[in-house]
């Protein structure tokens, strides 16, 4: 590969000037050029690579520490999940789980009112619902979702087997 004419001219002039120096001056200049080249290699290549390696090592140490903390917290999280606080095992909130269960078709009619009471309680009102179907629905809700009845009030209707119900549901413990 041939250098452009102007650069080649400058290169030849620099070589001629170098050749015109005394042997001692040539050695000093060569040593200085070697020091500059080593400094360029150090600052342009080695230092950035070493800094990146140190950052990666620190990141790995931080990730390992976080992993150990999460492993230590895992039993407590499992206990909380098992107690029914927060969300169901499938990640659904208490309100959403109860709402889905009321729409699954196991009850002949939906509740007349569904109201959250904080994050851990849901209140339901039913009117003219078959009492036996409601009890079976509550049993399935407890078995499948871990949701239990905290309080219940039933009013018997004149029609046989029907009742009005006010329920307070919470996650089971």
Please report the pLDDT score of residue 173 as a whole number: 58
Phi-psi region of 111 (alpha: psi -120 to 50; beta: other; left: phi over 0): beta
Q: What is the pLDDT of residue 81?
A: 61
pTM: 0.48
Q: What integer pLDDT is reported at residue 18 of this predicted model?
A: 92
d(CA 86, CA 77): 11
Shortest CA distance to 111 belongs to which of 167, 172, 171?
A: 167
Each residue of 132-173: pLDDT tens digit? 888 988 888 888 888 889 999 998 888 888 989 999 999 865
Residue 88, pLDDT score: 46
51-82 pLDDT, tens digit each: 999 999 999 998 898 888 888 877 876 766 65
Q: Which of 124, 102, 132 is nearest to 168 (CA)?
A: 124
pLDDT at 125: 94
The residue count for the chain: 173
Q: What share of the chain is helix, strand, coil (3-state, %, to 5)?
A: 60, 20, 20
Residues 122 and 110: beta-carbon distance below 8 Å? no
Q: What is the pLDDT of residue 104?
A: 84
pLDDT digits (tens, 9 = 90+) for 25-59: 999 999 999 999 999 999 999 999 999 999 999 99
The SS3 call for residue 56 is: helix
Q: Look at residue 53 in the predicted model and tell me its pLDDT.
A: 96
Residue 143 has a pLDDT of 86
Are the C-beta atoms of 50 and 42 separated by less than 8 Å? no
Residue 94's pLDDT is 86
């Amino acid at each position: 590969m041939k250098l452009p004419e102007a650069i080649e001219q400058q290169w030849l002039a620099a070589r001629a000037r170098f050749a015109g120096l005394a042997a001692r001056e040539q050695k000093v200049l060569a040593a200085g050029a070697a020091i500059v080249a080593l400094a360029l290699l150090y600052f342009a290549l080695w230092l950035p690579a070493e800094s990146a390696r140190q950052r990666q090592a620190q990141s790995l140490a931080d990730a390992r520490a976080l992993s150990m903390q999460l492993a230590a917290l895992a039993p407590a999280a499992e206990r909380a999940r098992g107690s029914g606080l927060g969300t169901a095992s499938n990640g659904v909130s208490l309100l959403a789980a109860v709402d889905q269960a009321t729409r699954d078709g196991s009850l002949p009619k939906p509740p007349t009112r569904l109201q959250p009471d904080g994050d851990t309680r849901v209140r339901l009102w039913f009117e003219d619902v078959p009492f036996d179907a409601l009890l079976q629905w509550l049993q399935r809700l407890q078995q499948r979702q871990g949701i239990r009845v905290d309080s219940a009030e039933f009013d018997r209707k004149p029609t046989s087997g029907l009742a009005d119900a006010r329920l307070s549901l919470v996650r089971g413990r």
